[in-house]
């Protein structure tokens, strides 16, 4: 049984014939005539691929059972081999029991012609945690979104339209949930006009369910020892809302901190031209300018929207860092591990319950005692707690420059360009500086310049609160503890380039002064985590830095189309918006975790693509939520 956030791994038996078998379902993953041939004949051929995607800007496929990934790999290979391929390929796939990495590697070893692609899939394979996991391949042109969880729940959380459906669960007699009339109706809701579908089974119940959902299906010659298969087209009404892309032309992003640069890079990866306006003389001089930041997820006993979204954002951030590194865009960061010490015994017991009740995999988080905590930190700690082995510290400035390098020539950066006014014109928005000079005209504008956006009349109603955060810099040699990041009421980093960073204050204020009193408070935080390290340090002698963080009332980001002042609408989705204006802000003290996934979410919206997160989580960050609730 699945527990909380974690899922049970697939139980796979490899018989004497080498075929992977699922004993829990009493079925094989593919027939004995070859899984790759079956993928090509039944699913690609049954959906008319690759001819069906020829010349398309984007093409989206939905699969009901990822299994061992053969259908995805076969489709990716066909995309690579086709000169008429779409510029962007989206592949969404549901999997209730993700295979363990070792089983995935063993199964795919049987297909040497896929070895290069399979190795990339295995490298990016996420932990078996429920939710959406978006992976990028081929320079961000192939997007695999794994939906880990029960099909009925996760399919209902998908936002987007799909051009083809691979119906590939275990046999209907073994796994009826994946073939129910209700699930076929859910898929029909996601179908684009004339969407293709294909499956190896011709069971009467499946044909009836597809017909009732609006698919016209017919038998086709099967593969191997199966005489027949089904293929079809969707002829019913298209009911899922269309994600309308931003009009053609340059998109302006305001603010060259990590939030704005992340959005610019994600748009550039999709072939959009971006005008990036920065008020200061250089990028990453606001809160992004801190020496180091800490990356770790938020966990909760209940599967709150904050916990689910932050977990997805953390895992996505790790994958993006790996992608940047693989592409040669170096980021100064270290997955040195993060120890999070509870503030009390009661909270320590709660930490233990969260790990136990959610069945968290150890490569994501586990509980460690004080002895192991001290070993990991290289110093006596105030206790044990959560250990996040893949978390660590990162240089926000180096990340910003790496993202700009990855974005390439499609992003035009203009410094010393403070936006003072945006005027609606026929082809979008005309942007002007404080001196009245025109900064550019854009088909759409993304406001990512923190509290600066509140000076614009269109954004003045946003409930962005300003919190100052002062970090203390302690001169340290490379051998000084801690060896990992340690958190409690604050955090302490290992020595990097001669400095340990300790922080941070969190006060509702716009004061950017570096205060000795806040240094003293940070030293107290350090002593509370790592007793004895403070010694006789005089706060008045220390250097530091203060950044201003934009924080929303519910601590979730503000991400999406900018709402207008309006009477109450029936739903958040129906709230009226300023055409072509968007916001990316409210990241608070966790900007280095939020920024990557929020940028991907906004770029997906602006480019008319299926969204990378669950629908309820997209609503949870919608900037209209506070107006809809009557908070502003």
Question: Both 538 and 582 in a single domain?
Answer: no
Does 584 map to a domain? Answer: yes
Do 122 and 161 lie in a common domain? yes
Answer yes or no: do 266 and 402 share one domain: yes
pLDDT for residue 28: 56
What span, in angstroms and rounded, lies between the C-alpha atoms of 509 and 546?
Answer: 11
Model confidence, pTM: 0.96
Among 127, 469, 123, 467, which residue's Cα sits nearest to residue 294? 469
Q: At 270, which CATH number? A: 3.50.50.60
Q: Could you report the per-residue pLDDT of 293-332, keeping only the tens digit for each? A: 999 999 999 989 999 999 999 999 999 999 999 999 999 9
Do 181 and 45 share a structural domain? yes
Clarify whether residues 79 and 177 are in a common domain: yes
Q: Are residues 60 and 180 in the same domain?
A: yes
pLDDT of residue 30: 59
Give the separation between CA 494 and CA 483, rounded to whole angstroms: 5
Domain total for the chain?
3
Longest dimension (CA), the chain: 82
Both 452 and 471 in one domain: the answer is: no
Q: What count of other Cβ atoms lies within 10 Å of the Cβ of residue 4?
A: 17
Domain boundary among 533, 551, 569: 551
Q: Is the residue at 225 inside a domain?
A: yes
Distance CA 163, CA 171 (A): 24
Q: Is residue 59 domain-shared with residue 78, that is, in the same domain? A: yes
Q: Is the residue at 560 inside a domain? A: yes
Q: For residue 330, is it within any domain?
A: no
Residue 168's pLDDT is: 86
Is 564 part of any domain? Answer: yes
Which residue range forms the structural domain that includes residue 164? Answer: 13-234
| CB 473 within 8 Å of CB 507 | no
The answer to whether residue 582 sits within a structural domain is yes
Per-residue HEC secondary structure of 525-555 comes to HHHHHCCCCCCCCCHHHCEEEEEEEEECCCC
Which residues, in sequence order, are CB contacts of 346 under 8 Å at separation 6+? none
Same domain, 403 and 547: no
| Residue 429 is assigned to a structural domain of this protein | yes
Query: What would the two tokens of residue 523 be?
Result: 């030293």
DSSP states of 30-56: S-TT-HHHHIIIIIIHHTTTTGGGTT-
Report, in angstroms and rounded to the nearest whole number, the Rg of the chain calculated over CA atoms: 26
Residue 385: beta bridge partners?
368
Contact assessment for residue 563 and residue 625, using Cβ atoms and an 8 Å cutoff? no
The verdict on 153 and 109 lying in the same domain is yes
* pLDDT of res. 14: 77
Q: Please give the pLDDT value at position 16.
A: 64
Packed helices 396-407 and 258-269: angle between N→C axes, nearest 10 degrees: 20
pLDDT at 566: 75
Nearest in space to 198 (alpha carbons), one of 154, 160, 162: 162
CATH code where residue 511 lies: 3.30.9.10
Q: Which of 499, 521, 551 lies at the terminal end of a domain, its last residue?
A: 551
Q: Are residues 385 and 454 in the same domain?
A: no
E-strand stretches of 363-463: 366-368, 385-388, 392-394, 411-414, 419-425, 428-433, 438-442, 444-447
Task: Respond yes or no on whether the N-terminal peptide bond of residue 482 is cis (omega within 30° of 0).
Answer: yes
The CATH number of the domain holding residue 102 is 3.40.50.150
150 shares its domain with 269 = no
* Per-residue pLDDT, 24: 66
- Domain membership of residue 332 (yes or no) is no
- Parts of the chain with a pLDDT under 70: 1-4, 16-18, 21-33, 170, 631-632
- pLDDT of the residue at 535: 78
Chosen domain end from 501, 533, 551: 551
Enumerate the β-bridge partners of residue 386: 340, 367
């Amino acid at each position: 049984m699945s527990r909380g956030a974690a899922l049970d791994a697939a139980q796979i038996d490899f018989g004497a014939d080498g075929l992977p078998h699922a004993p829990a379902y009493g079925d094989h993953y593919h027939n004995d005539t070859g899984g790759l041939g079956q993928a090509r004949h039944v699913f690609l051929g049954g959906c008319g691929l690759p001819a069906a995607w020829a010349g398309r800007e984007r093409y989206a496929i939905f699969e009901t059972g990822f299994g061992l990934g053969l259908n995805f790999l076969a489709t990716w290979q066909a995309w690579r081999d086709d000169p008429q391929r779409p510029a962007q390929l989206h592949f969404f796939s549901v999997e209730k029991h993700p295979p363990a990495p070792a089983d995935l590697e063993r199964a795919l070893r049987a297909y040497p012609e896929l070895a290069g692609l399979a190795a990339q899939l295995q490298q990016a394979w996420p932990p078996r945690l429920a939710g959406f996991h978006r992976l990028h391949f081929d320079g961000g042109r192939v997007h695999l979104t794994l939906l880990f969880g029960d099909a009925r729940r996760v399919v209902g959380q998908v936002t987007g339209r799909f051009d083809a459906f691979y119906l590939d669960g275990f046999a209907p007699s073994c796994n009826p949930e994946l073939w129910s009339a209700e699930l076929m109706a859910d898929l029909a809701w996601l179908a684009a006009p004339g969407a293709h579908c294909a499956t190896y089974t011709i069971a009467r119940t499946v044909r009836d369910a597809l017909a009732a959902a609006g698919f016209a299906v017919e038998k086709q010659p099967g593969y191997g020892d199966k005489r027949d298969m089904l293929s079809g087209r969707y002829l019913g009404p298209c009911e899922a809302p269309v994600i309308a892309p931003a009009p053609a032309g340059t998109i302006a992003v305001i603010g060259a901190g990590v939030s704005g640069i992340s959005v610019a890079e994600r748009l550039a990866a999709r072939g959009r031209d971006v005008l990036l306006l920065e008020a200061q003389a250089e990028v990453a001089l606001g809160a992004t300018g801190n020496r180091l930041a800490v990356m770790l997820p938020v966990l909760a006993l209940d599967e709150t929207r904050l916990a689910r979204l932050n977990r997805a954002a953390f895992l996505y951030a790790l994958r993006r860092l790996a992608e940047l590194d693989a592409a040669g865009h170096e980021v100064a960061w270290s997955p040195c591990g993060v120890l999070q010490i509870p503030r009390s015994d009661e909270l320590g017991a709660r930490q233990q319950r969260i790990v136990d009740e959610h069945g968290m995999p150890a490569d994501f988080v586990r509980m460690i005692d004080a002895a192991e905590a001290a070993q990991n930190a290289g110093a006596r700690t105030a206790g044990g707690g959560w250990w996040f082995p893949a978390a660590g510290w990162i240089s926000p400035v180096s990340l910003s420059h790496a993202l700009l390098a990855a974005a390439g020539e499609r992003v035009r950066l203009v410094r010393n360009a403070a936006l003072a006014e945006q005027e609606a014109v026929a082809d979008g928005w005309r942007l002007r500086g404080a001196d009245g000079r025109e900064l550019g005209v854009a088909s759409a504008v993304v406001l990512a310049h923190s509290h600066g956006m509140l000076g614009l009349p269109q954004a003045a109603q946003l409930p962005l609160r300003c919190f100052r955060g002062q970090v203390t810099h302690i001169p340290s040699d490379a051998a000084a503890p801690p060896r990992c990041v340690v958190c409690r009421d604050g955090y302490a980093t290992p020595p990097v380039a001669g400095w340990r960073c300790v922080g941070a204050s969190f006060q509702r204020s716009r004061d950017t002064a570096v205060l000795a009193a806040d240094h003293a408070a940070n030293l107290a935080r350090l002593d509370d985590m790592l007793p004895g390290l403070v010694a006789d340090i005089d706060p008045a002698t220390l250097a530091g830095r203060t950044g201003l963080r934009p924080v929303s009332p519910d601590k979730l980001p503000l991400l999406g189309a900018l709402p207008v002042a309006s009477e109450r609408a029936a739903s958040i989705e129906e709230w009226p918006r300023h055409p072509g204006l968007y916001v990316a802000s409210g990241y608070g003290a966790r900007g280095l975790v939020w920024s990557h996934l929020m940028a991907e979410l906004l770029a997906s919206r602006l480019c008319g693509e299926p969204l990378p997160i669950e629908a309820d989580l997209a609503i949870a960050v919608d900037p209209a939520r506070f107006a809809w609730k009557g908070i502003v």
